[in-house]
Amino acid sequence: MTIKEVKEFLLTCKSLTEEAQALFAADVRSGVQAAYKQWHRRMEKAQQLHQRWLDMSTHEQELWEKGYAHIAGVDEVGRGPLAGPVVTAAVILSPDFYLPGLDDSKKVPAARREEMYEQIMEQAVAVSVSLSDAALIDEINIFQATLRAMQTAVQNLSIVPDITLNDAVTIPQLSVEQRPIIGGDGKSISIAAASIIAKVERDRMMKEYDTQYPGYGFASNMGYGTAEHLAALRVQGPCRIHRRSFGGVLVP
């Protein structure tokens, strides 16, 4: 094989016999060596992602084996910002769903989050999104507003779940079984999927709000208290989507 043929072959190859690996490793051509090393790194990365997937699927696998057909992961995004809603999502995945690299949305680059969002929306058994706006957050506090949005997200699923896996909290007034998991968005594929959906939905909302309420930098800071955002608050004061109960919004 020419060096070009080797590169093209290894670019799409997903497995090699030990004999084939030995042949490539022994090839003295620098181009072949570079292509083979790149292939090897890619395979190692794929294996690491697969193992991470298996580790994050332990809760789901246990429950599927016990007969829980529909497991809903539930998570929120946006409890900390000074502006905008808190957004929650509930996602039910099938046992054959596979999306290596799925993780807590904060650990996934924005472009990859968008790709994962589309894959989850297309392949999930059911997805539901809910939110609590700034007015409700100010009225009942951020924690209660988050729980209310989570409750609505679960209740609005097109399929009633057999159990929910929640990121850290127990949701009140739900008739289904629940399992809170501390740090769940990094320990459960279902919760991680909900984290991705909620994050992308909220980011899109904040970008729309940026056009409605210019000057605060919502498209880039997503409502968090960045220096730019705080400076704008000192000049413009809060707008409709600011959480007036949050320290830092009504700046002197």
List the binding residues for a divalent metal cation: 75-76, 167
The Cα-based distances of 227 to 66, 210, 220, 230 in angstroms read: 50, 16, 12, 5
Binding site: what residues are annotated?
A: 75-76, 167
* H-helix or E-strand spanning residue 34: helix 30-56
The label of the residue with tokens 């990094």 reads 186
**Cβ-based neighbour number of residue 225 at 10 Å:** 18
Cβ distance 206 to 223 under 8 Å? yes
Other beta carbons within 10 Å of 74: 32
The strand pair at 163-167 and 177-181 is best described as: parallel
Residue 144: partners with Cβ closer than 8 Å, 6 or more residues away = none
The residue type found at 2 is: T
> Rounded to whole angstroms, how far apart are CA atoms 155 and 169?
16
